Structure 1
Amino acid sequence: MNKQIKEFRDYRSKMNERIITSDNLVLKRLFNLDTNTYAEGALSTRVKEMLGLVSSMVLRCDDCIKYHLEKCYEQKVTTEEIMEIFSVANIVGGTIVIPHTRRALEYWDLLNNSENQKI
């Protein structure tokens, strides 16, 4: 696994655990709501992750973009589909999304190449 991917996953996991163990009811409910939002329903989890990726790109949240790229990767979203997702995000969000698209594509490439790499 690529070092950047591992670092992102480890940090996210560590800090999410820290947030949850703070025992704040509102934050716990927010995390639960997030989990339930992306569950299978009228829309598949695959479609929901693609929607999450577009939304994260438009909002310009690099951590969220990485998270949804990972989920899209797990859902077997193709690179061709990812490029169309990027197109929608850039049309909706405007050219300010382009730097996030660059970083998103870089991370997508890391995910796709991570199976053959060691830390």
Structure 2
Amino acid sequence: MAAHLRTLRGGAPEVMKAFAGIAQAALSPKALDVKTKELVALGIAVAVRCDDCIGFHVKAALEQGATREEVMETLGMAIYMGAGPAVMYASHAIDAFDQFKNTTAGAASAA
């Protein structure tokens, strides 16, 4: 995916710069903190079935201190809003959480 993003940045720099600006503005902490915003993004990613978005936002939520319980509650809302297909995609988020949590725990113990 990283190679494809580089290709997009090179081929459509104005669009990608604008997208980065939208992301920065959307994630700016105001009434909602960044962790909450990443959990919202995760719920949307599950509901719209965006595989790459799920991993990206699980990792970002973990980096902001999200717990497994918070992720599970977010997935419950995604399932509620996305119906049956969201149930299947929620399992992708659980896999990503476990993978990134184990990677983070391994890095912390190695330090």
TM-score (norm 2): 0.85
Distance of 1:33 and 1:103 partners within structure 2 = 26
Match of 1:59 in 2: 48
Correspondent of 1:103 among 62, 73, 92: 92
Return the offset for 1:19.
1.7
Q: Secondary structure at the match of 1:94?
A: helix
Correspondent of 2:57 among 52, 68, 72: 68
Distance of 2:102 and 2:15 partners within structure 1 = 38
Give the letter aligned to residue 62 of structure 2: Y
Match of 1:40 in 2: 29
Give the letter aligned to residue 31 of structure 1: A
Percent identity (aligned) = 25
Q: Which has the higher contact order (CA 8 A, sep 6+)?
A: 1
Match of 2:68 in 1: 79
Unaligned runs of 5+ in 2: none
Runs of 4+ residues over 6 Å off in structure 1: none
Q: What is the number of residues matched between the two proteins?
A: 107
Pairwise CA RMSD of aligned residues?
1.9
Which structure is higher in helix share?
Answer: 2
